[in-house]
Structures are given as C-alpha cells and as structure tokens.
Structure 1
Amino acid sequence: MTIVTQNVIPASVLLQDGQPQWLRQWGSFAARTQFADLPLPVVERTKLVLLDCIGAMAAGMQEPEMRSLVSRLGQRERMEGQVPVIGAGRRMSALLASLLNGTAGTMLELDEGNQYARGHPGIHVVPAALAAGERCAASGADLILAIALGYEIGSRVGIGSKLRVTMHPHGTWGTIGAAMAAARLEAATPDQIIETINLASSFGLSTSRRTMLEGGTVRNTYAGFSNQLGLMAWELQASGFVGETDGVGTVYGTVIAENFQPDEMVLELGERWEIARNYFKRHAACRYTHGALDALGEIVRQLGGPIDPASIEAIEVDTYVWAAQLDSADPRNMLAAKFSLPFALATYIVNGAADVPAFREEAQANPIARDLARRVTVREDAALTAMLPGLRPARVRVRLRDGRQLAAEVLTNKGDTEDPYSPEDVHAKFRELTEPVWGGPHAELIMAEVDTINGASNIRELLDLLARSPQHGWSQ
C-alpha cells in the first residue's frame, strides 16, 4: 500500500488544529496498513531483523553487567512477569523486560542498523514489540507488521532530521519507533497513533556522543530505555495524557536536532520501506570501523595468510569524518575498544578476527595488540566524507619493516545495502551468538520459529522458546 503525496497538502503544512499534514497521513497509514500490504521482501527482511536482534540480546545478556542488573531488578519485582528476559531464563514485567532486552542487545555492538537513519532502529523496536505482543496475544503477522511500522517511523525521523553532533543516536527517535510498534499491536485508531507519536517525541534522552568514545557503558542502556519509554507512551495516551500538537517537529527541529524535513516522513510511504534498506554486522565493533576492517581483511587475503604483528612498521587509515574520530589507541574497556579504530585493526591482526572475544578484557590487555594499536594513524579524507551516507569508504595501507607496502580500499561496509549479507550469513551469525547460550538444538528451534512466524496464530510459542534458561546457568 502506497500513500500518494502528489497534488495534496504539503507534508509541512499545519492543518487547522495545528497538526502537520505528515502526521495526519502517518496516523491514517499506520492504522489501516495490514500485513498483506507488506511486500514479501519487507516481510523476509523483518524476520531477519527479528532474528538478528534476538541473537544480539541473548549473547549480550551474558555480560557481567547484565547478569548483575537482571538479578538486582528481579529482586525488586514482587511477582514473576510474562515477558522473557532473553538469555536470562526468567520473565519480568513488560517495562523491565523491554529495558533489559534493549540494553543487552547493544552490549556487544552487533545489532543491525540503518545507514540512512544513522542509527540502530531494530533494537529500539523489537523488545517493545515482543513485550506488547505478549500482552495482546498477537499473531506472528501482527508482530512483523508492528516491527516494520515501528522501524519505519523511527528511521524516517532519523532521516528527516540532523541530530546535534554532540548527541548519540541511541535513545532518541527510536522511542517513537517503539511507541509505534506498541500502538499498532493495540489496534490503535489514527488519532491514538498521532497522540502516541507526539507523547513519545518528548522522551528522547540526553544522549552524549562521548559515552561511546570514552567507554561509558551507560550508553548501552539508551536503547533499553527507548523501548521502555515507548511502551509508556502508549500507556500514557491510553490514560488520557497528551503531548505537543507537533512534538516531532519541535524536538527534532529545534531541541535535540535541527533541519527537520517533514516531506521525508511521507516520501514514498508504503512503497520504500526502511527496514529493507538496513545493514547487518559481523564485526563486533562500531560500524564506523567496518570499512577499514574489511579493507584489512582484503590485505590479509591478498597475502594468503595472517600478518605477523612484529613485521608491521605502521598502519595508515584514510576514511570519512565519523570513522576518523575513532582514533584513540588506548581504550579503557570493552566498549571503548569497540569504538577505537586503531585497536580494532590491531586486535583483528593479533586474533584473526574482530569478533566478540577479540574485544574482551584479555584481548584488550594483550601487549602485542596494544603496541600495534599505537602504530595506527587515522585521518579524515574530505573526498571520502563526501560519499556519506550512501557509502562508508576507507583506505588502509600496511607498511612492513622489510619495505613492502600493502594496501586496499573499500567503498562500503560488507553487510550494507550495497553489499548485503545473505540470509545464510545472518543465520550463521545467530548460531555463533546463541549456541553458547542455549546450545545448537534450541538455537535451531528459534530460527525455525522466526522463519515461519508470519503464519503463527500467537507469538507465545516464540516467547516460550526465548524464555529458556541459558545452558550453563548463572546466578540470579
């Protein structure tokens, strides 16, 4: 289903009640769109996003901070909830489960994203959709539709505005996406959807970009709070609370962002689905490092084997502005290491991959990797910056002590829309993340359930699978 915007009131025009035209269109679009209106590629991509988020949440839930947080919050709930805390083997209330699941999903820096929205819509929507879907006894088709719509509106706010450069995108427009998913699962009317969007627009966090650079792990909670606040936006609306008449325009045009472009909210609406333009990640590090990591991987392939760190005199990286900012060679913890281009390249060379173990404490403390990271120089190339957002280019040159120079260049990250991972790649990633948590047979059951979820009359069978305790257990 396509919303036609030609020869109608422009999206930016305010109607008599003060509402912008685009918001009225969105209320109508989201309320009347049915699962049958989704193109098949959108359905299939949404299922992959759901699976990818589940894998990221289950693996991230095993981190020490998550185990402690689950235990502490679990002690404060007087009764068992109904929503699985994925990878923890317990259930909590919708609000706490969505907070924990969203937080866990960003712990390992492996959740999917959208290069045009400049953020990670999936992990801001999926936990809230699962929680709301449990309460509504939603069908699988309803869940897929809610995720696709939530992903769509969150992404479009990200595309249609420019966050302040000091802001981190997590915890901002994703709240609107979570609220949309909840409202759609509640069979909201157009007016209820509009009010929920306006309420959710006020809930963006004061997200500092420096948290990711310094290793401030509070950053990992931003997506968790977005899911929790998105659910709350629906509950507030249902209770009679109201927001600004044009909350999105105010917040994303003047407060935490600027240059809001309403026309982007309805451009090809129902025809161009943002979830079908997403990317998946295999390197367990900030996406800004991926171009350089892919180029380094090409150099290793050219050599036909690994590079001895001792043979390297220096590594030079030329890349776009956001990646060039990740130039710290001495990260203080796992999160900071994932946002350090010098360390990411060094640990790739030392460990043979930029996977989850390559950023853990033991790998960070490796003196060989630490020393090599200090021999990496990162520079911005304005010509490469000009290729954003469609491309994410990087050039890598490795200078060896014997005088040889090895070089490679990539224009975009592996996994992006322009060079996508296959469904089999996403499945392989899911196995890598979840088999240590649940074991191979249970991981296969979850994949099979997600693959056919659009035919399920109720998502509770999936939720029951996600409530499974980790095979090695941990203190709660």
Structure 2
Amino acid sequence: MTPAADLSTELARFAATTRFSDLPLDVIDAAKKSLLDTIGVILAASGTEPAVRPLIELVQGNGGREECSILGFGGRVPASAAALANGALAHALDFDDQTPWGAHPDSSVVPTVLALAELKGDVTGQELIAAVAIGQELFIRLRRNVGWHMDWNLSTVVGCFSAAAAGSSVMKLSAEQTAHALGIASMQSGGTMELIFGTGSDLRGMYAGFTAQACVNAVLLAGRGMTGIRNLFEGEAGHFRVYFKGEFDREKMLQGLGREFHSGGMLYKYWPAVGNAHTYIHASIELMRENELTPDDVEEILVHVGDFQQRMCSPLDQRQAPGTLVDAKFSLPFLVGLSLAKGSMRISDFSTEALKDPVVLTLARKVVPVPDSSYDWTAKLPDGKVVVVTRDGRRIERLGSLVPGSADRPMTWDELFDKFRDCASAAAKPLPDASIVDTQKAIRDLESCGSVSTLLKLLD
C-alpha cells in the first residue's frame, strides 16, 4: 500500500482545499448555528456544573502564556489549555449539538478552532465557518460508515480527527501537514462506551476537553514539521482494523467529498440531556399537558426501551436516584420523572438541590423500563414511548414525535437565540444583555466579519 492510498490523504486534501465559497447555504447556516450553540452551552456550564471546577482550577493554576480565553470564567491561558477548559465545558451539560445519527462533533471542533483562531489572530469569519463545516463533514462521514458495536465512544474516537482537520484549516496547513496532524491527533483517539454507560464519573461530561487540547497540539506540531502516521486508517494495524474490526465503507466515506455535504442537518438540543432521551422527555411533557395530569395522578410509568436506552435505566435503583448532575442527564427514569413533574425542562432544573426534589424522585421510582427491540438505536436516534398508568386506572400513552430540535422540527435561529440568552445568563460571569445581543448578531452575520477577534472580544 502506498502512502497516497490511505484514506487520511484524501481527508487531509479535503480539509486543506475546502473554502467558504465551496459550501452550500445550509452548511454555512449549520456551522454558524453550531458556533453560537456551542459557545452558549460552554457559558452555561461555567456557572451551573460544579464538576468542571477541578479542571478549571488546574488550568488557571498552571498559568503560562496568555494566549486564549477561558469562556465563562475569563482569563487567558495557553491555546491548548484553553481548548481543554472550553472543550470540557462544551459537553458538561450534555446540551451541545449532535448529528442526526447521534454523537457530538462540535464540543471538540469548536473549542479547537476558537483557540487556534484566537492564537493566529487574523482569521476571518468565512475561514472560521469553513473550518467548522470541514470538521462536521469529516465527523459525519466517519461516524456513519464504520462498524460500531457500542464499544468505542465515537465522539472521542472519531472526534479527534474531525477537530484536527478543522484546526488545520484555521492554521492553513497544507494537505501533507494536515495528514500529519491527523496522525498526531490519533494519540488521543480513545475512550470506550463504559465512559457513557457507567455511573459516578465526571469524565462523561468533560471528555471533549481532552480531545480539543490534543488537537490544538497536533495542529501546532504538524505546522512545526512533526510527522504523523502515513497509513493511519487503512494500515495493517491502522485505525479501522484495530478499532472497528476492519468494518468500514471507504467508498461511502469519500463519495462526493468536497461536492456533497451532510452537515446542513446538524441538530441542536432543546433540553440539556442526552439526545437519546429527548423523545421520552417530549412524550412525557406532552402527555401531562394534553391530559391535564398532575404528579399525584400517576401510579406507574412504563417506558419502552431499546438497546441503548436500557443502559440508561441500569442499574435501575441508581438511575432512579442519580448521585451527580452528569448521571442525572443520562438517567432515563430521572429525566422522565423530571419532565412529568415540571412539565418542561430548563438548565435551572439541574442543580445539586434538584437531585433531591421529592416529587421528581417519587416519579422516577415509578418508572418501569419495558424492553422493546423496535426502539433499538440503528441508523438514526429512535423514538420513545411513554405509558402512564393513573391512580383511577386509566392507561395513557404518548410517542415522542415532532420533537423540538429533531430533524422533523429543527430549531430556528430565534429559538437558538433564546437558548443562547438563557445559557449566557447562567455563566459564571454572566454576559451583559448588550453583549448577548451583539454576539448573536456577530455570529448570525459571521461571513461578513473581517476578524474573529471582534467576536471573541464580545465574550470577555
């Protein structure tokens, strides 16, 4: 196999040669929405997720060159340290965007490109948009076309390559340098789904920080001449053979690359919880509203669960009374109980005190998972079915349909502006109202921005 034959060469060429003018309008729109959305959830996490504090304190305590900003907290640190901090914040609330097929590209892509753009200093809005779109496109093509068995955490195993490619675009690396950056970033390609399925760990909320930090370093090292792995993906012990048992579709990964884009369908979360739960959250909220039920009316709650959702219910007693905010966002019983109790779901519903809410916990303990293979996670995120048995013997069911933030009902710019306003107001250092409005406008019109530094100053 010659070096040019490896898939990494083709992906690197795409990342090095794609420009803003090559992007369809929906892809441009998605990249801008993802920037706004990711920055917003970073800000919100800074003020509402206590688990991030040790990492932020470490980054601040280490000091170093004042190159890039820690969003939400303020202060400047070396570029890779800023990417670590902002990346950890980006996924801490499980409120960041996702592809229609699940997994999260932008909690690693956006902190990477923001750190490198701030370090470089002369990056235009169009260049930033192109970088995000490149990262999203590569993430989707890799995620969709590997044989995944719910073993590796795709957001980290695949995310390091998409973020490294996006960062290489910001720094204008050549195709050869970009291929080297992908190889260097592979040193951070890891993390199993036990990270997601297990309980009690803060890492599930902060994994993207480690990816973003590694990708900033990979891009900077490649720019200084360090070489990567030539047969990165398809070699004898390459990525696809080792991580995915050799199950991948090279032809589909490359089909229409540079001409056809899939990132225009990025999805933005309406609620701060794992994406697989959103159909259940929606079903629960609407079931209570449509039938004018109160928590006291509920005798039992049946949730039909496929393979992935069963893990969100096991072990059941721990899921019904999660001990951390990170676990609460992955607990289907708790999320259904919260939705039934509140009739909505906001950032403020997740706090240390909320974990002890007697009404929510009582409802969570009434949740009974019903195994149902028709809700398995296959090509797309599955729907959810909730059945409430009332004290007077009624059996009321609701299927999660037309879920806000889904492909069937994507979030509009106005809805994303509302979400950003809530998030920015919850930051450790809340943004003033004027800065919130200016940031929204700056990102909405980002293609007209001569320097991303203008945007970043609004977030100080």
Question: Do they fold alike, i.e. is TM over 0.5?
Answer: yes
Aligned equivalent of 1:408: 398
Q: Deviations over 1:408-435 (max 9, x none)?
A: 1135743122331222111111111112
Q: Does 1:397 align with 2:390?
A: no
SS of equivalent to 1:162: coil
* Contact 1:201–1:248 under 8 Å retained in 2: no
> Structure 2: how far apart are the matches of 1:166 and 1:330?
26
Match of 2:243 in 1: 256
Quote the residue 1:309 is aligned against.
Answer: 295
Superposition TM-score, scaled by structure 2 size: 0.92
Question: Is 1:273–2:247 an aligned residue pair?
Answer: no
Counterpart AA for 1:24: T
Code of the aligned partner of 1:286: V
Q: Does 1:324 align with 2:315?
A: no
Q: Residue 244 in 1 paired to residue 229 in 2?
A: yes
Is contact 2:87-2:212 (8 Å) kept? yes
Q: Are 2:454 and 1:452 equivalent residues in the alignment?
A: no
1:192-234: CA deviation from partner (whole Å, max 9, x where unpaired): 1222222223321334424554031022231001111111112
SS in 2 for 1:398: strand
Q: Does residue 130 in structure 1 map to residue 117 in structure 2?
A: no
1:129 Cα deviation (Å)?
0.4
Quick one: percent identity of the two aligned structures? 26
| Aligned partner of residue 257 in structure 2, secondary structure | coil
Contact 1:330 1:343 in 2 (8 A): yes
Structure scoring higher RCO (CA < 8 A, sep ≥ 6) equals 2
Deviation, 1:133, is 1.1
Question: Residues 78 and 45 of structure 1: is their aligned pair in 2 closer, same or farther, counting only changes over 3 Å?
Answer: closer
Equivalents in 1 of 2:212, 2:64: separation in Å?
A: 22
Q: What is the CA distance between 1:171 and its match in structure 2?
A: 2.2
Query: Which residue matches 2:433?
Result: 440
| Candidates 288, 298, 305, aligned match of 1:300 | 288
**Would you say the 8 A contact 1:141–1:455 is kept in 2?**
yes
Distance in 1 of aligned mates of 2:63 and 2:190? 25
Q: Per-residue deviation at 1:324?
A: 2.6
Partners of 1:381 and 1:272 in 2: CA distance = 36
Shift of residue 154 of structure 1?
A: 2.2
Aligned twin of 2:316: none
Q: Counterpart of 1:76?
A: 62
Q: Which amino acid aligns with 1:109?
A: D
How many residues matched? 447
Is it true that 1:368 corresponds to 2:355 in the alignment? Answer: no
Matches within 5 A, 1:91-106: 91-106=76-91
The one-letter amino acid of 2:458's match is L
In structure 1, the gaps of 5 or more residues are 1-13, 468-476
Conserved? CA contact 1:318–1:378, under 8 Å: yes
1:379 to 348, 363, 370: 370
Structure 2: distance between partners of 1:228 and 1:72: 14
After superposition, what is the alpha-carbon deviation per residue over 1:332-366, rounded to whole angstroms, capped at 9, x for unaligned?
11111111111101112222322222232211112
Q: TM-score, normalised by structure 1?
A: 0.89
Q: Decide whether the 8 Å contact of 2:59 with 2:85 is kept in 1.
A: no
